[in-house]
């Protein structure tokens, strides 16, 4: 992987991680759907304050390769969750 892609990947991970940490539960649910296709009820996520979903989203971002991060970023952008 070239240096540009490595830097871009680090920036995307940082941006997505911060966004996940700062998001409210409605956004977390939409992000999970955009990233994994899974749909959860608000009440189910609210039971643990979204910590399970947040942890899984952060783990997904942390372990994603460059192409996966680009796809995640594009899906979240399409959903209007990020700029």
Q: Give 67's pLDDT tier (boundaries 50, 70, 90).
A: very high
- What are the DSSP calls for 49-75, one per residue? TTHHHHHHHHHHHHH--HHHHHHHHHH
Note whether residue 8 is domain-resident: no
Q: Total structural domains in the chain?
A: 1
On the question of pLDDT at 6 being above 80, the answer is yes
Q: Distances from the Cα of 74 to the Cαs of 30, 49, 50, in angstroms?
A: 14, 26, 23
The domain containing residue 29 runs over which residues?
Answer: 13-78
On the question of pLDDT at 61 being above 80, the answer is yes
Q: What number is the average pLDDT over the span 10-18?
A: 90
**The overall pTM is greater than 0.85:** no
CA 75 to CA 33: how far, in whole Å? Answer: 10
Note whether residue 6 is domain-resident: no
Note whether residue 2 is domain-resident: no
- How many whole angstroms from its chain centre is CA 41? 18
Helix (H) or strand (E) holding 45: helix 42-46
Note whether residue 4 is domain-resident: no
């Amino acid at each position: 992987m070239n240096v540009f892609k490595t830097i871009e990947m680090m920036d995307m991970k940082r941006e997505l991680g911060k966004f996940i940490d700062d998001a409210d539960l409605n956004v977390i649910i939409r992000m999970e759907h955009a990233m994994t296709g899974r749909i959860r009820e608000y009440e189910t996520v609210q039971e643990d304050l979204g910590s399970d979903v947040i942890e899984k989203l952060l783990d997904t971002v942390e372990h994603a390769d460059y192409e996966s991060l680009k796809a995640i970023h594009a899906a979240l952008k399409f959903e209007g969750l990020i700029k």
